[in-house]
Amino acid sequence: MDSDVKTDWHEGHSIKFKGEWKGKAFGDKGEVETFQKEKRLAFTHFSPSSGKADRPENYNLVSIELSPNGTQTNVTLTQSVHRQAEEPSADSAAEFEKNWRAMLSRLKNEVEHPTC
């Protein structure tokens, strides 16, 4: 999503995202939950632009898993409300899906047509 990511990839350490989305600057944050090089990344994510308070129940958990499939790699992405029993609202889930579809489409394009 055209963001700069700052982290050392160690579990329990911070991860910060800075960039621009829909014409507005953002600075999101979270914590690395799991990092297995070339296999799995999971991190919490909080966006102040959500208008919600910076509390644990307002963080999402994002997980990206890579699995080989012949000459290809399958990417499985999940996002859920972190440390909360309830599922995200229908509006939130639709927004998550729309944003991740755009992000995964860009990732696919970058992999298939690298610019460098």
Instruction: Report all structural domains of the chain as residue ranges with CATH numbers, in order of start.
Output: 3-85 (3.30.530.20)
The rounded distance, in Å, linking the Cα atoms of 62 and 44 is: 6
Question: Whole-angstrom Cα distance, residue 65 to residue 36?
Answer: 9
CA 57 – CA 21 distance, rounded (Å): 23
Interval 31-65: pLDDT, tens: 999 999 999 999 999 999 888 899 988 898 999 99
> Among 16, 70, 12, which residue's Cα sits nearest to residue 47?
16
Q: Does residue 104 surpass a pLDDT of 90?
A: no
pTM score above 0.85: no
